[in-house]
């Protein structure tokens, strides 16, 4: 199995950027390389308090080389549920202030073409 060069580059950047730091749900390198579906989330950085910084900088995000998160999923339905929960504000997750920017299926990038909204009404 040959890995997609773009996928490997993103995984390497993710590992270098975050190093030993953790974020909720951070997948291991093994999970990233073996998961059927990997989602890449970009956007707003989290505010981190660093006691070494001056008080006036305490509430500002720490700069990062590239501030993105990755999540792993076994099925498309599992990823769909995460996105649905974000839209409906059902759960607070690390991805709440981020956008889904890339999806890889078996380490190959796929195009995100849309989101399906399913509505239900008791009225006829």
Instruction: Tell me if 103 is assigned to some domain.
Output: yes
Instruction: Tell me if 115 is assigned to some domain.
Output: no
Instruction: Tell me if 118 is assigned to some domain.
Output: no
What are the backbone angles phi and psi of residue 38, rounded to the nearest 5°?
Answer: -125, 130
Q: Is the pLDDT of residue 108 over 90?
A: yes
Binned at pLDDT 50, 70 and 90, residue 11 comes out as confident
**Residue 88: predicted pLDDT:** 82
Binned at pLDDT 50, 70 and 90, residue 12 comes out as confident
pTM of the model as a whole: 0.70
How many structural domains compose the chain?
Answer: 1
Instruction: Tell me if 55 is assigned to some domain.
Output: yes
Instruction: Tell me if 124 is assigned to some domain.
Output: no
**Residue 23: predicted pLDDT:** 73
CB atoms within 10 A of CB 64: 13
Instruction: Tell me if 84 is assigned to some domain.
Output: yes
**Residue 44: predicted pLDDT:** 61
Per-position DSSP letters for the chain, written without gaps between them? -PPPHHHHHHHHHHHHHHTT---TTPPPHHHHHH-SEEEEEEEPPPP---TTS-GGGTTSPPP-SS-EEEEEESSHHHHHHHHHHHHTT----TTTTEEEEEEEETTEEE-----------S--
Instruction: Tell me if 122 is assigned to some domain.
Output: no
Instruction: Tell me if 92 is assigned to some domain.
Output: yes
- Which domain, by its residues, includes 83? 5-110
Measure the CA–CA gap between 60 and 4, rounded to whole angstroms: 35
């Amino acid at each position: 199995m040959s890995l997609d060069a773009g996928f490997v580059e993103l995984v390497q950047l993710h590992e270098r950027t975050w190093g030993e730091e953790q974020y909720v749900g951070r997948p291991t390198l093994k999970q990233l390389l073996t998961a059927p579906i990997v989602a890449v989330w970009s956007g707003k950085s989290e505010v981190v308090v660093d006691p070494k910084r001056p008080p006036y900088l305490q509430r500002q995000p720490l700069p990062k080389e590239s501030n993105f998160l990755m999540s792993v999923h076994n099925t498309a339905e599992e990823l769909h549920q995460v996105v649905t929960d974000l839209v409906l504000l059902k759960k607070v997750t690390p991805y709440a202030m981020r956008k889904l920017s890339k999806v890889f299926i078996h380490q190959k990038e796929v195009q995100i073409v849309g989101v399906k909204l399913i509505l239900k009404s008791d009225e006829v």
